[in-house]
Amino acid sequence: MNPEEFNFAEALPSLPRLRAYEAVHAVVSDDNNFERGVAGARAVADSVLAEAGTAGLTETVVELALKLAEALERIASEQGLAAEDLAEVWFVE
């Protein structure tokens, strides 16, 4: 592929995906201080809301849900479970 054919915009993650990553990273990166991680995730959400409004926040939540569903499907498959059952265990029980 030559440089004229490469689409740089498609190579970059979408803004909602980047913001979803930032929120997750804030929570998982500070093993010693859960509250600081949660505060970091809230700061990302507040920033998305301020910069992109409710539509941007909605897109970020949808991106988080999609990535979480992918992870649940992968884990469920490895454990011989249905992803729906694993999601129920994680979120309902």
Domain-wise residue ranges, the chain: 8-91
pLDDT computed for residue 19 by the predictor: 95
Q: Characterise 53 by phi-psi region: left (phi > 0), alpha (psi -120 to 50), beta (else).
A: left
pLDDT computed for residue 13 by the predictor: 76
pLDDT computed for residue 31 by the predictor: 76
pLDDT computed for residue 32 by the predictor: 81
CA distance 54 to 45: 10
Global pTM value: 0.79
pLDDT computed for residue 10 by the predictor: 62
Per-residue pLDDT of the chain (93 residues; tens, 9 = 90+): 555 675 655 666 789 999 999 999 999 987 788 899 999 999 999 999 999 999 999 999 999 999 999 999 999 999 999 999 999 999 996
Residue 34 tokens, joined: 């859960």
* 57, 46 Cβ separation under 8 angstroms: no
